[in-house]
Each structure stands twice: as C-alpha cells, then as structure tokens.
C-alpha cells in the first residue's frame, strides 16, 4: 500500500521546506548586513559570497532539536525492541504490540512506532508501514527482522531479543571509544602546557652548560 510511503514523504517535505525557509532568511540577513557594512557597489558581490558560504555552512549542520530527537530514538531502540519482543511472546498481534510499545515509550521513537502500528492496522503493506522507522540508526535490523517474519511467518520475538542485545553491545563499544577520545583530548592540553616548561627548565640549562664548556 502506497499511503504510508506518501505520508512519510509529505512529512519529510514539510520539515525540509521549513528548514529551507529559515536558512534562506538567515542567508539574506547576513548578505544584506555585509553589503551595508561595506557601503560600496562591490559590497553586493561580497554579500552574495558571504551569504552563499553561510548557506553551505548551515546546510551541513544538523538542527539541535532534530539531533536531540535522533539521539533519543537511538537510545530508546534497545528497550523498545525488548518491550516489543515481550509483547509478542505474550501473544499480542504485531500491530497491537507495536502500538502498545509506542504508548509505553513515548518520545520520538514512540511516535515512529505508533505510525508503524497504525499503518499496519489500516492495512498497509509491511515494507511501507516500516518506512516510518527510516533514519534511526540501528532500526534497519529491527525492520529487516519484522519484514522477514511477515514474509515467512517466523517468530519475531526471539529475533528482537537478539537485536536488542546487539544494539546494547554496539552502544557499549561506542561509549568506550568516546571515553578514550575524551581522555586523549583532556591530556593533550596538559601536555601542551607542560612541554614548554619542561624544555625551558630541563633541556635549555643542559644545552647552555654544554655550549659553555665547548666554547
């Protein structure tokens, strides 16, 4: 069924239009400010160049609210998979189980799951219904397992439990890597501060003494 696909496309289009309108307003404001500040005819060229640069910079940046929603959805994904597996093992149909988990979770992931569950209740094809989970890192495993189950009739609960464990393992690896990078970033400024002092207090007197004996 193409209704879910069309709905997801409309949501992405409206969000993209709002972001583009805000970015265009900022580009125009910055370009106009540069032009007025220079006060010459060639200031318009500089304003266009600066406005274009600002536009490219803003286009490469992820809005703070979207980033926060994406990170929360990623964080809630393992527990969402566990809850969905528990609901399925209890005998709930897939669509009702998804809606129940969505209500329990709330937040960005809950909203996406609620769209999936409602689409399935309305008769959407599973590939179209699960499109609402696109954009969440790690959700492709859950979606792939759900699609395989819908096609073969296999049990989904056990696969979701394994996926939840894998997602937690991946998060542990990412957390350890971030902690190691933080340790390096903390030590680096200290090294930059102590290195000149070590050179001046330790190496310079030795070099001066050696040169004095030689000369």
Question: For residue 120, is it within any domain?
Answer: yes
Query: What is the span of the domain harbouring residue 22?
Result: 17-61
Q: According to the per-residue pLDDT averaged within each range, which of 20-29, 131-140, 149-158 is highest?
A: 131-140
Residues 103 and 170 in one domain: yes
Cβ 2 vs Cβ 131: under 8 Å: no
How many independent structural domains does the chain possess? 2
* pLDDT at residue 8 tops 60: no
Residues 52 and 74 in one domain: no
Residues 54 and 136 in one domain: no
Question: For residue 112, is it within any domain?
Answer: yes
Question: For residue 51, is it within any domain?
Answer: yes
Task: Quote the pLDDT of residue 169.
Answer: 85
Task: Quote the pLDDT of residue 181.
Answer: 75
CA distance to 8, 9, 50, 63, 121, per residue, from 59 (Å): 21, 20, 14, 9, 37
- Kindly compute the dihedral angle of the four CA atoms of residues 91, 93, 96, 102, in this order, to the nearest 10 degrees: 70
Residues 167 and 79 in one domain: yes
Residues 40 and 98 in one domain: no
Question: For residue 186, is it within any domain?
Answer: no
* pLDDT at residue 32 tops 80: no
Q: How far apart are CA 182 and CA 184, in angstroms?
A: 5
Q: Mind listing the pLDDT tens digit for each residue in 160-196?
A: 888 888 888 887 777 777 777 776 667 666 666 666 6
Residues 72 and 159 in one domain: yes
Q: What is the mean pLDDT of residues 89-99?
A: 89
Structure tokens that stand for 102 in this block: 């969505």
Question: For residue 114, is it within any domain?
Answer: yes
Question: For residue 75, is it within any domain?
Answer: yes
* Three-state secondary structure readout of the chain: CCHHHHHHHHHHHHHHHHHHHHHHHHHHHHHHHHHHHHCCCCHHHHHHHHHHHHHHHHHHCCCHHHHHHHHHHHHHHHHHHHHHHHHHHCCCCHHHHHHHHHHHHCHHHHHHHHHHHHHHHCCCCHHHHHHHHCCCCCHHHHHHHHHHHHHHCCCCHHHHHHHHHHHHHHHHHHHHHHHHHHHHHHHHHHHHHHHHHHHHHHHHHHHHHHHHHHC
Question: For residue 198, is it within any domain?
Answer: no
Question: For residue 214, is it within any domain?
Answer: no
Residues 92 and 52 in one domain: no
């Amino acid at each position: 069924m193409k209704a879910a696909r069309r709905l997801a496309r409309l949501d992405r289009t409206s969000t993209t239009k709002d972001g583009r309108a805000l970015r265009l307003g900022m580009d125009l404001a910055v370009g106009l400010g540069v032009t007025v500040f220079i006060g010459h005819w060639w200031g318009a060229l500089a304003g266009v160049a600066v406005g274009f640069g600002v536009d490219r910079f803003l286009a490469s940046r992820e809005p703070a609210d979207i980033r926060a929603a994406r990170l929360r959805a990623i964080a809630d994904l393992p527990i969402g998979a566990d809850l969905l597996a528990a609901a399925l093992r209890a005998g709930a149909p897939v669509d009702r189980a998804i809606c129940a988990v969505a209500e329990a979770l709330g937040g960005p992931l809950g909203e996406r799951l609620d769209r999936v569950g409602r689409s399935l209740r309305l008769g959407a094809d599973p590939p179209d219904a699960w499109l609402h989970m696109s954009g969440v890192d790690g959700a492709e495993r859950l979606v792939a397992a759900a699609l395989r189950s819908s096609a073969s009739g296999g049990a989904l609960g056990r696969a979701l439990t394994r996926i939840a464990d894998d997602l937690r393992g991946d998060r542990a690896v990412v957390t350890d890597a971030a902690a190691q990078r933080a340790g390096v970033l903390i030590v680096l400024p200290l090294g930059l501060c102590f290195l000149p002092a070590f050179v001046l207090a330790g190496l310079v007197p030795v070099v001066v003494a050696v040169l004095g004996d030689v000369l």
